[in-house]
Amino acid sequence: MTQPIFLIGPRGCGKTTVGHELARLCGCECIDTDRWLQTHAQKSIAEIVEQEGWESFRARETAALEAVTAVSGVIATGGGIILAPYNRQFMREKGTVIYLSAPVPVLVERLVAFPEEGQRPTLTGKPISEEVSEVLAERDALYREAAHHVVDASLSPSEVVQNIATALRLACVS
């Protein structure tokens, strides 16, 4: 694999889970930008947002994206990484961008089952189903603008990986 594969999509679409499985099958590394950022900041995303604000977090997120792109492999991004036009263009130019698209009920079910509070601070302060619906409505067009391929993420992780492999014609997943 010569260029990174960027996985984008809303919280709960499976970027990290799919990323690790895809990387394992391709024999490369999977890096999660949110985890990388938290490790280097030595704070959770919730703490960064609370102490420094969303603008500072978004700047840190861009720096994390640039840093991890130096390592070719699979990159699982934070759900809001596409908010910055720079990030959308950067990913499209540096690799292949896959939008893991899933309907709101699937995303809500996953977020309720695996809340990961420290990693997933509320974006609106509203109930989860309302928040997911609003955020996805705001961001879907940005995900699609950034993506080279859109894959149905409501399937099982192995099916999603197979669909990515088919879309990219990856020899590593045969």
**b/e 144-160 (16+ beta carbons within 10 angstroms → b):** eebbeebbebbbeeeeb
**Was 26 annotated as part of a binding site?**
no
- Determine if residue 79 is labeled as part of a ligand binding site: yes
Per the annotation, does 125 bind a ligand? no
Q: Binding residue per annotation — 34?
A: yes
The verdict on whether residue 118 carries a ligand-binding annotation is: no
Q: Is 58 annotated as a binding residue?
A: yes
Is there a binding annotation on residue 24? no
Provide φ and ψ at 146, rounded to 5°. -80, -30
CB neighbourhood size of 86 (10 A): 10
Strand 149-152 to strand 96-101: parallel, antiparallel, or no bridges (unpaired)?
parallel
Q: Which residues define the annotated binding site?
A: 12-17, 34, 58, 79, 120, 139
Q: Which residues define the annotated binding site for ATP?
A: 12-17, 120
Q: Which residues define the annotated binding site for Mg(2+)?
A: 16
Q: Which residues define the annotated binding site for substrate?
A: 34, 58, 79, 139
